[in-house]
Amino acid sequence: MSNPMAGIARSDTYSKEELLIATMARLFGDGTFMTAGVNSPIPAAAGLLREQVDPGFYVAVHGDPGRTPFVDGGAEAFDMAAQGRLDVFVFGGVQVDGKANINLVGIGPYPQAKKRFAGTFGAASLFYLVRNIVLFFPKHDRRTLVEAVDFKSASAIGPKEAYRTGSPRWLLSERCLFRFDLEKERFTLVSVHPGHSLEEVREHTGFSFDVTDRVEMTAVPTTAERELIRGPVRDALSKPYPDFARKLLARQ
């Protein structure tokens, strides 16, 4: 097989973005259908990377007409989620708390917020429907990872009997990776990224979380992952996210 990476400079170093992309892609596991929403270059890149290593995986990328397989209007993706056909979705937001509630609406009182944001979009419903939800909050500080969000746009904590085909499972930040346990309604620290520590994570996290006996280090992107990110992933990303794709290349 010819090497599509031929001519691309190889390097053992990796950028912060590449670490997040590679780490996120590993969380998608046995997912088969992902949708990457608006303003989501890193989730889109992670989905594209997952496609490269798992031929059964597909990511629909907002902003790329060639990767918009919906043909029946805006409601179709939500119906797909309810049918259990939407495996993976990455949510961001303004705040996340220790019960995996996210805030996309505003800081301060409601409705007259001190700082208003766009709104909840589909999150309130999708939190019960997408099998594997990754919460992605790259900025990891006590104003973002809070004890209780100012406004719960979406919460997975609902009646046990409610229809459910999924829930939040992971929280990925610039410092670490947490796993969410829906039964316990708590996060457990899975690993800290290279250069970061448990103490630092505690210092910058506004909610309490569980730790296991041994805190792992997040695996760095492998040579193969880096080459895929710098090759086919960057190429596919250059249509919906030209600036981000250029920045990925510029880091080499």
Please report, as ranges, the residues that interact with another protein according to CB under 8 A.
Answer: 38-39, 63, 65, 70-76, 78, 82, 101, 104-106, 110-129, 151-159, 161-164
* Closer to another protein by Cβ: residue 122 or 221: 122
Q: How far apart are CA 190 and CA 67, in angstroms?
A: 32
* Closer to another protein by Cβ: residue 26 or 186: 186
User: Counting every residue, how long is the chain?
Assistant: 252
* Closer to another protein by Cβ: residue 119 or 194: 119
Three-state DSSP at 210 gives strand
Q: Least CB distance from residue 234 to another protein, whole Å?
A: 18
Neighbouring C-alpha atoms within 13 Å toward the C-beta of 37: 19
Q: Least CB distance from residue 10 to another protein, whole Å?
A: 32
Task: Report whether 177 contacts 194 (CB < 8 A).
Answer: no
For 106, which DSSP code? E
Residue 200: burial class (beta carbons within 10 Å; 0-12, 13-18, 19+): middle
Q: Least CB distance from residue 115 to another protein, whole Å?
A: 7
Q: Least CB distance from residue 56 to another protein, whole Å?
A: 26
Q: Least CB distance from residue 93 to another protein, whole Å?
A: 12
**Closest C-alpha among 47, 50, 127, 33 to residue 87:** 33
* Closer to another protein by Cβ: residue 148 or 198: 148
* Closer to another protein by Cβ: residue 38 or 250: 38
Q: Least CB distance from residue 195 to another protein, whole Å?
A: 30
Q: How far apart are CA 161 and CA 228, in angstroms?
A: 43
Q: Least CB distance from residue 240 to another protein, whole Å?
A: 9
* Closer to another protein by Cβ: residue 182 or 219: 182
Q: 167-173 and 176-181 as β-strands: parallel, antiparallel, unpaired?
A: antiparallel
- Name every residue whose Cβ is closer than 8 Å to that of residue 91 and which is 6 or more positions away in sequence: 102, 123, 126, 133, 134, 135, 136, 154, 168
* Closer to another protein by Cβ: residue 115 or 214: 115
Alpha-carbon dihedral sign for residues 159, 160, 165, 168: positive
